């Protein structure tokens, strides 16, 4: 009989239907903005489940933001009417963290590894550059970090880079050294930066085919949204996950008792997973982070026999908005033209507005928001976009004055606030005791009289003795720092140890699952009380400290919410969640506010009304990209992304003058405005703008530009860096079912004990890292005896005899 059509296909056009129902190995859906790419991907997941072509656990869907992941999960749930536990819908980074936490030991990482954000990478690089005097070679944390990040996105490490670099160039030699030390520091701290999360997962899969095989066996359907913005490392990850498992390896798995028989084909191999990618090369806006649209253009070559489906109907915008978008993007070369059309009618004309100043532009935006609102449009259906964060100041000022409810998406940067990073560093130091960065951050926060000299002294003491920073703290009595400072250091170490013990499970269930132990908020409150961090801020007379205390209280509240939402979630889960928060995750559809955000954050979103501000030369295209190869084309795509977020109403505004760092700069209309057919835009101008002509495009202004735009507040460079592999000592991995003392030893990192080693001046010793040397002097008593050693090649060191990796020769 005739197969009944599933309701989940209702309302889809034939191409969309085909994309949802296709069951071949590889599918590329390539289409312009608003054509239903994300919707189709969501329905495809639902369809795979509904037809029983996949179990939830066999699906891995990759979205660009955590928010998009949550939305997709909800929609699938709504379509199927049942929760699909076991399905992985998440970003590349979240998926990789999940995999790496499970497999950490294989690549020499603690499962509680830290995740460094760009600020953490910067601090690390700053220390390295200072130690190497690398600034004399022109390196800054920013420049070195950007270069390292770029290389990591290409899956290069310091060694592979060095092999191809011109090592007779001292600057290159210096860069390689920075890269090496950066990687070594992160490894020693059991830390990964954002780029590592992807790169190390690829490394794991390549170095451990059996591990890779288990994930290939598990994920039979991989779906990736926004594929145009994947970089090489992400591309390689997708490839590793979707490769077949060779017959031999499949047999080995079967012999190991892994159930794979049902997956093996006639040759005995496990065929590769099915892969669906969707994307739009015209919306590629992350080239500066290594995104490569060749991943799309090369898809049919990479996956021979791939099906390609084009979607041509736009369901989001009016024809006027779409025509403007098509006209603009049509000016880019090297692209395949897409026939995008809308059945939504022409709609209103686009409103163009030439303001006298940024302030004046903000007033216009605010007034129009009020007009739309009185006409019945909800605030949450309106958004204001800008190229750089610096543009928000004028907007916020006016919106506050007009009592318009608004929200700066991704602008609060809660987790980047110093006091929040301080509180989090306490938690990180508990979760990952080898993280030197976290420990140094809290060493004298709040102030406990430990100066920078002591901090660096502890650090080199640790290096010299093969200790972690934490172990050095515990043995700081040997440094002769004076009782007050030593006491403060020991007290902090004890506080962290005690907090770690709170996390130890109190019981183990019949199934061997550890339970009990304190939750995240209890540990945080314990640390705050023990360190005095909160009390110091509360007791301060600085009014700013009051706000800081409130922020920390907000963090405590967040940990309580986390406990409620994740009853099984531990400290590391909380820290992971915090690390992976992205700007777009800040969105709150229910908030009833106008959303303010950068054009980059707007990707994938849609609003009834969009205000695209600052459409000026210097801002759009941004002056930093204007002279770079491919820069203006990428900025044009950004403009295209912005325009295509609008459903009904689009406003394009610019200001003739803009205040920047106390200067008034004269601005020119963006070159992209001329690319929009004049009949699509209704131009208006503020009363203050002389010599402009109503109804026409804004003319290039007569005034000469004064100095142009100075450095805007946004960052165009990629984030941080670091490579990790190899081994590290003392970890706080908490395997279930071990007695408390054993946990405690692991956590406190008890090390070798040379206590009985009798050394006197003149003795020769061998050190694990420094080789042979001569003891010049022994000072201190008992467990705190220190050997002053002159090494044959490594120079003079002070070693704590009890624990240093030394032997008498
Ligand atoms: P972008 O390129 O901006 O990411 P997209 O291609 O992912 O866009 P979607 O966000 O999936 O597009 O869809 C755009 C809008 O069109 C959404 O509001 C979606 O609900 C709607 N839509 C998609 N397909 C249909 C359809 N067949 N019928 C009605 N509305 C649809
Ligand atoms: Mg989309």
DSSP states along 595-645: EEEETTTTTT--EEEEEE---BTBBTTBHHHHTSTTHHHHHHHHHHHHHTT
C-beta 604 within 6 A of ligand 1: yes
36 is in an annotated binding site: yes
Q: What are phi and psi of 278, to 5 degrees?
A: -125, 145
Cα–ligand 1 centroid distance for 68 (angstroms)? 13
Is 559 one of the annotated active-site residues of the chain? no
**Residue ranges of the alpha helices (H) in 432-513?**
436-442, 452-465, 469-474, 483-503
Q: How far apart are alpha carbons 692 and 700 in whole angstroms?
A: 10
Closest ligand to C-alpha of residue 36 is 1
Closest ligand to C-alpha of residue 607 is 1
Among 117, 157, 195, 225, the active-site one is 225
Cα–ligand 1 centroid distance for 46 (angstroms)? 16
Beta strands in 638-688 (DSSP E): 646-660, 663-666, 681-685
- Report pLDDT for 583: 63
Q: Tell me which residues of the chain have a pLDDT lower than 50.
A: 1, 691-696, 699-751
Closest ligand to C-alpha of residue 640 is 1
33 is in an annotated binding site: yes
Residue with tokens 């085909």: 18
Nearest alpha carbon, ligand 1 atom 14:
34
- Using the atom order of ligand 1, give the atom closest to the CA of residue 645: 3
Cα–ligand 1 centroid distance for 382 (angstroms)? 18
Among 187, 645, 671, 746, the active-site one is 645
Is 229 one of the annotated active-site residues of the chain? no
Is 226 one of the annotated active-site residues of the chain? yes
- Report pLDDT for 286: 85
Closest ligand to C-alpha of residue 32 is 1
Cα–ligand 2 centroid distance for 298 (angstroms)? 21
Residues around ligand 2, an ion, CB closer than 5 A? 37-38, 604
Q: How far apart are alpha carbons 353 and 652 in whole angstroms?
A: 6
* Strand pairing category for 26-31 and 274-279: parallel
C-beta 470 within 6 A of ligand 1: no
Is 790 one of the annotated active-site residues of the chain? no
- Report pLDDT for 705: 31
Among 234, 283, 313, 391, the active-site one is 283
Length of the chain in terms of residues written: 809
From 229, 312, 316, the mutation candidate for ligand 1 (largest count of ligand atoms within 8 A of CB) is 316
3-class DSSP assignment, residue 806: strand
From 28, 30, 34, 40, the mutation candidate for ligand 1 (largest count of ligand atoms within 8 A of CB) is 34
Burial 567-605 (b: 16+ CB within 10 A, else e): eebbbbebbbbbbbbebbbbbeeeeebbbbbbbbbbbbb
C-beta 63 within 6 A of ligand 1: no
Asked if the interface predicted TM-score (ipTM) of this complex is over 0.90, the answer is yes
**pLDDT tens digit sequence for 472-511:** 999 998 888 889 999 999 999 999 999 999 988 777 777 7
- What separation in angstroms does the CA of 792 have from each of 764, 765, 772, 773, 800? 10, 10, 6, 5, 19
Cα–ligand 1 centroid distance for 605 (angstroms)? 10
- Using the atom order of ligand 1, give the atom closest to the CA of residue 35: 6
Is 346 one of the annotated active-site residues of the chain? no
Cα–ligand 1 centroid distance for 33 (angstroms)? 8
**pLDDT tens digit sequence for 240-257:** 999 999 999 999 999 999
Q: How far apart are alpha carbons 44 and 49 in whole angstroms?
A: 9
C-beta 13 within 6 A of ligand 1: yes
From 14, 35, 72, 315, the mutation candidate for ligand 1 (largest count of ligand atoms within 8 A of CB) is 315
- Report pLDDT for 589: 66
Cα–ligand 2 centroid distance for 577 (angstroms)? 23
C-beta 315 within 6 A of ligand 1: yes
Is 283 one of the annotated active-site residues of the chain? yes
C-beta 55 within 6 A of ligand 1: no
Nearest alpha carbon, ligand 1 atom 16:
315
* Strand pairing category for 313-314 and 341-342: parallel
Nearest alpha carbon, ligand 1 atom 27:
12
Cα–ligand 2 centroid distance for 676 (angstroms)? 24
- Using the atom order of ligand 1, give the atom closest to the CA of residue 39: 11
DSSP run (H or E) holding 796: strand 795-800
459 is in an annotated binding site: no
38 is in an annotated binding site: yes
């Amino acid at each position: 009989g005739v197969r009944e059509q599933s309701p989940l296909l209702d309302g889809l056009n034939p191409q969309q239907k085909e994309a949802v129902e296709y069951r071949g190995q590889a599918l590329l859906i390539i289409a312009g903005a608003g054509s239903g790419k994300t919707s189709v991907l969501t329905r495809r997941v639902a369809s795979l489940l509904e037809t029983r072509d996949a179990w939830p656990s066999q699906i891995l869907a990759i979205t660009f933001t955590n928010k998009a992941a949550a939305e997709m999960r909800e929609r699938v749930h709504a379509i199927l009417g049942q929760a699909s536990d076991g399905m992985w819908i998440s970003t590349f980074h979240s998926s990789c963290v999940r995999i790496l936490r499970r497999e950490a030991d294989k690549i020499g990482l603690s499962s509680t590894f830290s995740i460094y954000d760009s600020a953490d990478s910067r601090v690390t690089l700053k220390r390295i550059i200072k130690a190497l005097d690398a600034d004399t070679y022109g390196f800054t944390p920013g420049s070195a970090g950007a270069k390292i990040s770029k290389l990591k996105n290409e899956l290069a490490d310091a060694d592979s880079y060095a092999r191809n670099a011109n090592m007779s160039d001292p600057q290159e030699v210096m860069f390689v050294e920075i890269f090496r030390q950066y990687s070594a520091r992160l490894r020693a701290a059991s830390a990964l930066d954002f780029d590592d999360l992807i790169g190390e997962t690829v490394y794991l899969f390549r170095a451990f085919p059996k591990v890779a095989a288990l994930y290939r066996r598990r994920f039979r359907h991989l779906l990736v949204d926004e594929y145009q913005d994947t970089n090489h490392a992400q591309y390689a990850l997708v490839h590793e996950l979707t490769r077949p498992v060779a017959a031999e390896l499949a047999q080995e798995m079967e012999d190991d008792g892994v159930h794979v028989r049902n997956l093996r084909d006639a040759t005995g191999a496990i065929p590769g997973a099915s892969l669906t990618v969707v994307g739009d090369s015209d919306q590629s806006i992350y080239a500066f982070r290594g995104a490569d649209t060749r991943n799309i253009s090369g898809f049919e070559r990479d996956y021979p026999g791939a099906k390609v489906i084009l979607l041509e109907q736009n369901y989001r915008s009016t024809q006027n908005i779409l025509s403007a978008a098509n006209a603009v993007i049509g000016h880019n070369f090297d692209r395949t033209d897409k026939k995008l059309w809308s059945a939504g009618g022409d709609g209103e004309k686009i409103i163009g507005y030439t303001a006298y100043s940024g302030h004046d532009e903000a007033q216009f935006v605010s007034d129009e928001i009020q007009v739309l609102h009185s006409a019945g449009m909800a605030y949450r259906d309106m958004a204001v976009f800008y190229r750089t964060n610096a543009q928000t100041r004028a907007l916020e000022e006016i919106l506050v004055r007009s009592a318009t409810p608004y929200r700066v998406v991704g602008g609060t940067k809660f987790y980047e606030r110093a006091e929040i990073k301080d509180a989090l560093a306490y938690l990180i130091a508990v979760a990952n005791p080898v993280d030197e960065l976290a420990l140094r951050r809290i060493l004298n926060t709040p102030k406990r009289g430990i100066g920078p000299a002591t901090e660096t002294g502890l650090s080199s003491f640790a290096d010299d003795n093969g200790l972690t920073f934490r172990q050095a703290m515990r043995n700081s009595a040997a440094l002769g720092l004076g009782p007050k400072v030593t006491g403060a250091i020991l007290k902090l170490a004890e506080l962290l140890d005690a907090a770690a013990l709170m996390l130890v499970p109190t019981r183990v269930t019949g199934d061997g699952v550890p339970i009990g132990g304190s939750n995240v908020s209890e540990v945080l409150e314990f640390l705050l009380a023990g360190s005095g961090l909160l009390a110091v801020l509360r007791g301060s007379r600085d009014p700013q400290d009051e706000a800081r205390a409130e922020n920390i209280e907000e963090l405590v509240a967040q940990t309580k919410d986390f406990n409620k939402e994740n009853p099984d979630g531990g400290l590391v889960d909380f820290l992971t969640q915090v690390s992976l928060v992205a700007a777009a995750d800040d969105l709150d559809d229910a908030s009833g506010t106008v959303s303010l955000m950068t054009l980059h954050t707007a990707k994938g979103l849609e609003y009834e009304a969009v205000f695209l501000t600052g459409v000026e030369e210097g801002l759009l295209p941004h002056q930093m990209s204007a002279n770079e190869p491919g820069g203006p084309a990428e900025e044009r795509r950004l403009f295209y992304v912005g325009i295509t977020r609008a459903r009904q109403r689009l406003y394009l505004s610019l200001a003739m003058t803009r205040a920047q760092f106390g200067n008034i700069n004269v601005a020119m209309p963006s070159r992209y405005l001329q690319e929009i057919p004049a009949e699509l835009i209704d131009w208006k101008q503020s009363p203050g703008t002389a010599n402009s002509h109503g109804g026409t495009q804004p003319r290039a202004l007569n005034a000469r530009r004064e100095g142009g735009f100075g450095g805007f507040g946004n960052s165009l460079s990629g984030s941080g860096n670091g490579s990790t592999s190899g081994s590290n000592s003392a970890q706080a991995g908490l395997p279930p079912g071990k007695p408390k003392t054993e946990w405690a030893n692991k956590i406190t990192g008890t090390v070798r004990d040379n206590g009985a080693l009798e050394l006197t001046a003149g003795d020769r010793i061998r050190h694990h890292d420094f080789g042979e040397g001569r003891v010049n002097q022994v000072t201190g008593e008992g467990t705190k005896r220190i050997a002053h050693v002159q090494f044959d090649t490594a120079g003079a060191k002070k070693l704590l005899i009890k624990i240093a990796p030394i032997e008498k020769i």
